[in-house]
Structure 1
Amino acid sequence: MKYVISLVLAVAMAASAFASPGAHGPNGEHLDGPAGTASTGTAPRVETFSEAFELVGQLSGGELSVMIDRYETNEPVLNGQLEVEYKGVKAAAKFHPDMGDYAIDDEKFLKALATPGKHALLFTFIAGEESDLLEGTLEVTAPAAAVHQHTSAWKWLALGGALALSITVLMWLRRNKKNKVTI
């Protein structure tokens, strides 16, 4: 009976090697890549600042979402007007008061930004009597589906070892059952 328990434990350990999150963060991003490299699971971002404003934008969820703060105080700048230009194409952002961000959802503009590469963006921002031009680069890596692989030699080795152990234990139990050895 104790050998059956050992068999069950061996199979459970092998299964857990496949079910565990491994080297992934909470959003599926790879944590086991070389330090300082962009993760393929991370949404493309742009960050820039001027003397007056700082801007952080993220390309995800079918939009370019942009947060704008005052550079000196980090105070959010709400209800302004934002326009983004890329290769001569301009798109106006809509302010979302519930999220405090400025979002661009123009399909043609987003399709151009979604292509892999470095995209130089020019942001024109107007808030009351203040206005500013901010330049930033949005870097988009290759599509995640093209580079994302979940094969690991250690996982296959663990599965193979558990399978070999299971077969060995089953053969031993079968042989001892024929010899009528009591456990």
Structure 2
Amino acid sequence: MALSCTAIAPALAGEGHNHDAAPAGAEGQASPRVQAHSDLFELVGVVEKGQMTVYLDRYATNEPVANAKIEYEAGSNKGVAAPQPDGTYVVKFDALSKPGELPFSFTVSAGSDTDLLAGELHIEDSHAEEAQAARPWARWAAYGAAALALAAAALFARRQFARRRA
């Protein structure tokens, strides 16, 4: 029985408890984002709470670009990103709050420079992650059930062995 318990012990170790593996990195998931760049511009769109905040920089210098016109197209959604006082731009439409893939194209006009940028946005289904986070004990309950089943099997085998000897 001791041998079977030591054999299963590594399987019961959770993330961060396996001393043979490298330590796990910081947990948490970044917000969905779309990234695109050209020789002129670099654009990053970050989705939070059903809207996208767009950051636009000069690609060569990383200097923020204010007062640009950013037209976007994502599937059937088209429009112009709204400039914000902090130098960012905001895009809002319903599909930004739903899981799925969205190909984006941005037409950026800043002064005499105009460029077309394209990227893909992937929005994960957050309900599955929330359900798992709400039940952190579920994994340990499964480990406990497996350990109980193993102990019951070992006890049954021991009794059968003892009956055969007698």
Q: Judge same fold: TM > 0.5, yes or no.
A: yes
- TM-score interval, normalised by the smaller of the two chains: 0.5 to 0.7
Pick from 129, 145, 148: which aligns with 1:147?
Answer: 129
The residue correspondences of 1:8-27 to structure 2 (distance < 5 A) are: none
Asked if the contact 2:51–2:96 (Cα under 8 Å) also holds between the matched residues in 1, the reply is no
CA distance in structure 2 between the partners assigned to 1:87 and 1:53 by the alignment: 22
Structure 1 unaligned residues grouped into runs of 5+:
1-22, 26-30, 32-38, 158-183
CA distance in structure 2 between the partners assigned to 1:57 and 1:138 by the alignment: 9
* Percent identical residues: 39
Task: After TM superposition, give the deviation of residue 60 of structure 1 in Å.
Answer: 0.8
Asked if the contact 2:46–2:52 (Cα under 8 Å) also holds between the matched residues in 1, the reply is yes
Asked if the contact 2:52–2:96 (Cα under 8 Å) also holds between the matched residues in 1, the reply is no
The residue correspondences of 1:5-154 to structure 2 (distance < 5 A) are: 31=27, 41-97=29-85, 99-105=86-92, 109=93, 111-142=94-125, 144-148=126-130, 149-150=132-133, 151-152=136-137, 153-154=139-140
Instruction: Give the aligned residue type for 1:104.
Output: V
The alignment partner of 2:63 has SS state of coil
Task: After TM superposition, give the deviation of residue 63 of structure 1 in Å.
Answer: 1.7
Relative to structure 1, is the Cα distance of residues 136 and 90 closer, same or farther in structure 2, using a 3 angstrom cutoff? same
Q: Which has the bigger relative contact order, CA under 8 A and spacing at least 6?
A: 1
Q: How many residues are paired up?
A: 117
What CA RMSD, in Å, does the superposition of the two structures yield over aligned residues?
2.5
